[in-house]
Chain A
Amino acid sequence: MSTPFEELANLDKLVHEPARLAILTALSVSESADFLSLRRLIGLSDGNLSVQLSRLEEAGLVGIQKQFVAKKPKTLVSITEKGSLAIRRHWDQLNTIRQNAAAWDNDRPHEKPDQPSKPTRRKL
């Protein structure tokens, strides 16, 4: 079995970046979101959000549709099938890592270096 650190190293870095993970998480429970709502929800600047969306679009994880509504440009973003699978798999991986990390941590002996080790009493 791999350690939590090895599992962490295997995570998809494109999805794991916090801002992109937030964008995909939001889009995974909606049909589409406009640029303004994503900016409010994720809390990124216009430029940063554009960059992150472009990276996700290049990877085929989101689709971006630009249209004009009342002569104003409107950008609609939706998650693709590939993006849905990627985000679901990613959260599953994170949950597994967290569980494994907790189990791994419990298996290790906990020593306090500044104190002499005391004999432990077995629970009956």
Chain B
Amino acid sequence: MQNQYTQIQFIAANYSKLQGLRQVPVGLLVASVSVWALDQQGDLGVPIVLTLAAALLYWAIDRFYVNTFGRIRPTAKMRRWESIASVVAGGLALLAFWLDTAYELPFSTVGLVFAAELFEDFLRATHPLKRRSFGLYPENLTVAGLILFLSLLPLTGLDWWKALGLPEQILGILLIIGILLVIAGIWGHVRITRALPAGEAKHDVNPL
């Protein structure tokens, strides 16, 4: 299949997922909550306000994408898998969070779970295609790789979060996850904007 058609198929199958700015509010929320958690006496109302602000920002970004790029509804099968994956991911994240806070482990379970979820997301996103490649979804795999690396780094005896002035590994990995989600989101947005220019494209490519 020609690359152009593979790309069309990939983008159509993952239209909303590839609209990177959608993950920026999530990243900002994770990063800001981890900063808030530094202060042990922090006001409990702050995370609620941050969550509401993130929800509002997400809504504004959703409106922007619907008005600028339109909407493609995934197939029922894909929506079902997305729901199952979200529930499983949420459950695993909670379990990992409990493990990381209850025990002093020489790796980050939260980071490992997050990296695994990103990798699973890549496999699911590229499932309709005959050929998978890094170039189709580079932001996803790059973030997964970086988080995997940082999650396993303490095995070498290097407490990297202390270099950032953070007392706990869990706060360090959450802060990094949040920042990387924001960067990956902006990267994804730039890629989708370049892939789908507003102007008219030429269609003289022979599908063979």
Whether chain B is bound by chain A comes out as yes
Is A95 positioned at the interface, with any CB of B under 8 Å from its CB? yes
Is B84 positioned at the interface, with any CB of A under 8 Å from its CB? no
Question: In chain B between 74 and 106, which residues have their CB closer than 8 angstroms to a CB of chain A?
Answer: 74-76
A97-B52 Cα distance, complex, nearest whole Å: 55
Nearest Cβ on chain B to A96's Cβ, whole angstroms:
11
Question: Is the beta-carbon distance between A43 and B203 smaller than 8 angstroms?
Answer: yes
Residue from A26, A30, A38, A101 with most neighbouring chain B CB atoms (10 Å): A30
A25-B207 Cα distance, complex, nearest whole Å: 11
Question: Is the beta-carbon distance between B13 and A29 smaller than 8 angstroms?
Answer: yes
Picked from B13, B73, B197, B199, the residue with its CB within 8 Å of the CB of A32 is: B73
Question: Is the beta-carbon distance between B1 and A37 smaller than 8 angstroms?
Answer: no
Picked from A16, A18, A25, A48, the residue with its CB within 8 Å of the CB of B9 is: A25
Question: Is the beta-carbon distance between B75 and A18 smaller than 8 angstroms?
Answer: no
Known: A25-B8, A44-B201, A45-B200. A30 touches B72 (CB 8 A): yes
With a CB–CB cut-off of 8 A, which chain B residues contact A104? Answer: none
A5-B162 Cα distance, complex, nearest whole Å: 67
Binding site secondary structure of chain A: helix
Binding site secondary structure of chain B: loop
Is B12 positioned at the interface, with any CB of A under 8 Å from its CB? yes
Is A19 positioned at the interface, with any CB of B under 8 Å from its CB? yes
Closest to B202 in A: A43
With a CB–CB cut-off of 8 A, which chain A residues contact B204? Answer: 18
Is B119 positioned at the interface, with any CB of A under 8 Å from its CB? no
Known: A18-B204, A29-B13. A95 touches B73 (CB 8 A): no
Question: Is the beta-carbon distance between A28 and B208 smaller than 8 angstroms?
Answer: no
Known: A40-B198, A43-B200. A26 touches B12 (CB 8 A): yes
Question: In chain B between 185 and 207, which residues have their CB closer than 8 angstroms to a CB of chain A?
Answer: 196-207
26 sampled A-B residue pairs with Cβ under 8 A = A16-B207, A18-B203, A18-B205, A18-B206, A22-B4, A25-B5, A26-B12, A29-B75, A30-B13, A30-B73, A31-B76, A32-B72, A33-B73, A34-B71, A36-B69, A37-B15, A37-B70, A38-B70, A40-B69, A40-B70, A40-B196, A42-B203, A43-B200, A43-B202, A45-B200, A94-B208
